[in-house]
Amino acid sequence: MTISVIAIDGPSASGKGTVAARVAQALGFHYLDSGAIYRVTAYAAQQRGVALDDEVGLAQLAVGLDLRFDGVEVWLDGRAVGDAIRTEEAGRAASRIAALPALRAALLQLQRGFRKAPGLVTDGRDMGSVVFSDADLKVFLTASAEVRADRRYKQLIEKGFDANLSALLQDLQERDARDAARAVAPLQQTADAQLLETSNMGIDDAVNWVLVAYTKASGMA
């Protein structure tokens, strides 16, 4: 039996993670935040003294990660690390190591292992283009850099972190450029992915849009 996959790709702070998690909940599917895998890898490397430019060392580390998702919470070695990996520093570290081909190859099978019945909703940069190229529905979810920076700023403030809106905007623009320019699995909208622009759209509307698109794509309409 083919296990359904909804792949939602897009740039940083576009809201794809929130949308993907809500869609998974609505459908009773599993959820994979692929960006969290890179954040956890970077976090584990820093904890264990592996340099972020040590491609071989990072790939070896990634293969042995004791990683578990419980809803949107992330567990490493039996310890919840969700807050630790959601900082801006962790995001920058994840973006750096995500450009390393050996690390991406090491994490490929780990990510594909999350494909379990009754289905999977996943978000990231290359979920539809590389990891789950046979996904039932591919969505490229985006918003303007200014809107994304504002959303990220509000998230950080709500969680009690210090944040600077101008610095966040600059960081997002730099990440966008780095993710789009990398040689392996660059951030891009594939020809078979549907565009979802959320600059003027709320979370509920975005979730409903994906659910309707999946109903049509899976032939249930």
Say how many C-beta atoms besides its own lie within 10 A of residue 24's C-beta.
21
Structurally, the chain folds into a number of domains equal to 1
Residue that wins the pLDDT comparison between 180 and 44: 44
Per-residue pLDDT for 184 more than 90?
Answer: no
Residue 209 lies in a domain: yes
CA gap 34, 24 in Å, rounded? 14
Q: What is the pTM of this model?
A: 0.87
Residue 168 lies in a domain: yes
Q: In whole angstroms, how far apart are CA 153 and each of 42, 47, 104?
A: 22, 27, 29
pLDDT tens readout for residues 92-122? 899 889 889 999 999 998 899 999 999 999 9
Position 91 scores a pLDDT of 84
Mean pLDDT within 29-57: 93
Single-letter amino acid, residue 219: G
Position 71 scores a pLDDT of 67
Residue 221 lies in a domain: no
CA gap 114, 110 in Å, rounded? 7
Q: In whole angstroms, how far apart are CA 184 and each of 101, 169, 187?
A: 6, 25, 9
Cis peptide bond upstream of 118, omega within 30: yes
Domain region containing 115 = 4-216
Q: Mean pLDDT of all residues in the chain?
A: 91
